[in-house]
Amino acid sequence: MSKAFTKESDADDEEPLSQPQLPAGAKNYMTPRGYALLKAEFDHLLKVERPQMVETVSWAASNGDRSENGDYIYGKKRLREIDRRLRYLTKRLDDPIVVDPVTQQGLEQVFFGATVTVGEEDGSEHAYQIVGMDEADPAAGRISWVSPLARALVKARAGDVVRLQSPSGLREIDVLEVRYLVDSIPPALAGNE
């Protein structure tokens, strides 16, 4: 039987394990920037990439034998990937709680959206912004609100010492500064809201 008539496995349609999952019962907090990024990705996939790929697959299918047609095989695979990502983004954008860091109350304490400057035991300083799960980028100093570091910092104030259990053992971190900055939306996305 030709591959063209075989059913792809259901495993192909499952969410990849690398996608961040919200803890059970947790709300989907996002910054305005994070929401704009996810919305822009959703719109691009739905309005640009998917229609182009459908057109490519349709053209490839019209060329005849699909079992050895690379454009058709790749196109179908890419369509599944796009549809999987669209389902994921639809879930994430379905009921988000967009929290603008500037409007937070209790600005002297660490809450969602805060940018916290901390001093490590070795004397180094690092700044972290507490953001939603989908916008976390530790290399850029954006940590998820469900990360152990963010959970340890929540409700801390400048001058507090926070203890954190890390893989290397117990760490003590000095909270040096708590700020709530305007969460800038990249200029390319500013008009897409």
Q: Which helix (H) or strand (E) holds 84?
A: helix 70-94
**Averaged pLDDT, groups of 10, the chain, 193 residues long:** 48 53 81 93 96 92 80 92 96 91 82 93 92 93 94 94 90 93 60 48
Whole-number pLDDT of residue 27: 86
* Measured distance CA(171)–CA(82) in Å, rounded: 41
The whole model's pTM is what?
Answer: 0.77
Whole-number pLDDT of residue 35: 94
Sign, CA torsion 28/31/35/38: negative
Q: Are 144 and 150 in contact (CB under 8 A)?
A: yes
Whole-number pLDDT of residue 68: 77
Q: Which helix (H) or strand (E) holds 149?
A: helix 148-153
